[in-house]
Amino acid sequence: MARATVQDVARTAGVSVGTVSRVLNGSSAVSASAKEKVNAAIKELSYRPLASARDLRRDRTMRVLALAKNLDSLVISEVFRGVGDAAADNGYVSLIAATDGDRDREQQLVDMLRNGSVDGLVIFSPTMPDEDVNTVAEQLSVIQVCEIVDAEAAFGVSIDDRQAAYDITKHLIDTGAKKLAMLAHRGARSGRLREEGFRQALAEAGLESDQVLLGEGNFGFHAGRSLAKKLLEGKDLPDAVFCGTDVVAAGCVRELTDAGLRVPNDVAVAGFDDSAQAEMCVPELTTVRQPAYEMGRVAFAELLERMTVEGSHRKGRTFLPHELVIRDSTK
C-alpha cells in the first residue's frame, strides 16, 4: 500500500483537498461535520502530511540543527538539551549532528541550512576557520554557543571565559599558590581568553608563569596525565594547576597522585565545566560551573529571533553568569 495523500483523504471523506488542509492546519472555519469526516478518513488511511511537500509550500521546516565536533562532553549534551527544550516550546524540532572535526562533513551540514533542510543552525565547536564562520554567520540564521570565534562581528552565547579564568586563578592564589601552571587546549577558541584571565590574575598578584602547556587533539584524561607528566619532569613543579576541563584535571590529579604527591597539599588542581567527573574524582574538583542548559535555551531564543525577524542580525556576545565551585582539590 502506497502512502496516502491529501487527495486520498479528500476522496474518502467526500470533501475537497482544501477542506482537508484546513482541518489539518485548523486555519479557517470548517463545519463540524466536515471536520469529523476528514478526521475519520485520516485515521482510516493513517495519513500523515508529507514533510517535503509541506516544507516546500510553506518555505520553512520548523527544524534546527545543532553542530558539534563530538558529543561526548556533558557540557555539550546539556547545551543541546537546553536547545532542544527551547525549540520544543516553540514548535521546533532540534536535531544534532557531529562533524568529527571533518571539514567536508561540516560543510555538508552547514549546507543543510543553505538548502533549506533546516531553518537555523547552532554551532558549538566549528572546525572551519574563523573567517568562514563569520561569513556564514553574517548571512544565515546561525548562533554560536560556548566556543565563539574571536572577531569584531563575534556573536553568540557563552560565559565570560576571561573572567571565569581570572576568578578561579585568583582563588588558587588566595589559597596560597605562588607558582601556577595552566593546561589548555590549543584548538579551543575560548583558550586565548582564558589565558588572558589567568595571566591577569597572576599579574595583579605580582606573579607570572612560563608554564602554560597546550594539548592537541583529543583533550581528555590521557592528555591531562601526559601534560602533568611534563610538569613533573620540569625543573620547578607548580603548586597549583588550572586545567581547561574537569577530565583533564582528573588526569592531572591522577598523574600527580601516582607520583606520590598529595592534592591539594602539595599541588592544588582546578578544573573547568563542573561536569560529572568533577565529583567522581578523588579529591573532588574545584571547578567553574557553566550554565550549560540555560545557555542552550538562550541560544535557541536568539536563533529564533534571527530566523523569524527579518534582518535581525544583531551582533555581540551574550554572557551568562558562571559560578566558582570550590571542592577538595584546592584548599
- Residues lying near a second copy in the complex (CB under 8 A): 3, 48-53, 55-56, 61, 63, 65, 70-72, 74, 76-77, 80-81, 84-85, 88, 93-98, 100, 105, 108-109, 111-112, 114-117, 220-221, 247, 250-251, 254, 257, 276-277, 279-282
In angstroms, the CA 195 to CA 204 distance is: 14
Residue 128 near DNA by CB under 7 A: no
Nearer to DNA, 6 or 149 (CB): 6
Minimal distance, residue 64 CB to DNA, in Å:
19
Residue 208 partner contact from a second copy, DNA, none using kind-dependent CB cut-offs of 5 to 8 Å: none
DSSP per-residue string spanning 241-285: EEESSHHHHHHHHHHHHHTT--TTTT-EEE-SB--HHHHHSSSPP
Pairing of strands 287-289, 323-325: antiparallel
Minimal distance, residue 76 CB to a second copy, in Å:
8
The answer to whether the CB of 325 falls within 8 A of the CB of 259 is no
Minimal distance, residue 118 CB to a second copy, in Å:
9
Residue 262 partner contact from DNA, a second copy, none using kind-dependent CB cut-offs of 5 to 8 Å: none
Residue 123 partner contact from a second copy, DNA, none using kind-dependent CB cut-offs of 5 to 8 Å: none
In angstroms, the CA 267 to CA 181 distance is: 10
Q: Is 112 exposed, middle or buried (0-12, 13-18, 19+ CB in 10 A)?
A: middle
Residue 31 near DNA by CB under 7 A: yes
* Contacting residue, 29, 265, 311, 316, with DNA by CB under 7 A: 29
Counts of helices then strands in the chain (DSSP H, E): 13, 12
Q: Which stretch binds DNA (CB under 7 A): 11-19, 125-133, 163-171, 206-214?
A: 11-19
What letter does residue 3 receive in the DSSP assignment?
P
Q: How many residues bind DNA (CB under 7 A)?
A: 32
* Contacting residue, 15, 79, 145, 248, with DNA by CB under 7 A: 15
Residue 28 near DNA by CB under 7 A: yes
Q: Which three cell numbers stand for residue 323?
A: 559560578
For 63, 75, 134, 166, 272, the CA distances from 295, given in Å and listed in that order, are 19, 10, 20, 21, 16
Residue 265 partner contact from a second copy, DNA, none using kind-dependent CB cut-offs of 5 to 8 Å: none
- All residues at 6 or more sequence positions from 121 whose CB lies less than 8 Å from its CB, including other chains: 64, 65, 66, 67, 110, 113, 140, 141, 142, 143, 303
Nearer to DNA, 15 or 181 (CB): 15
Beta bridge pairs of residue 120: 64
- All residues at 6 or more sequence positions from 229 whose CB lies less than 8 Å from its CB, including other chains: 255
Minimal distance, residue 1 CB to DNA, in Å:
12
Residue 220 near DNA by CB under 7 A: no
Minimal distance, residue 237 CB to a second copy, in Å:
22
* Contacting residue, 27, 104, 206, 265, with DNA by CB under 7 A: 27
Alpha helices in 26-127 (DSSP H): 32-45, 51-58, 74-89, 103-114
Sites for DNA among residues 56-95 (CB under 7 A)? 56-59
Cis status of the peptide bond prior to 129, with omega within 30 of 0: no
Minimal distance, residue 165 CB to a second copy, in Å:
24
Residue 101 partner contact from a second copy, DNA, none using kind-dependent CB cut-offs of 5 to 8 Å: none
Residue 309 near DNA by CB under 7 A: no
In angstroms, the CA 147 to CA 194 distance is: 12
What letter does residue 24 receive in the DSSP assignment?
H
Report the candidate in 141, 133, 48 with the shortest Cα–Cα distance to residue 92.
Answer: 141
Minimal distance, residue 32 CB to DNA, in Å:
8
Which positions lie near DNA, rule CB under 7 A?
A: 3, 5-7, 14-22, 24-25, 27-31, 33-34, 47-50, 53-54, 56-59
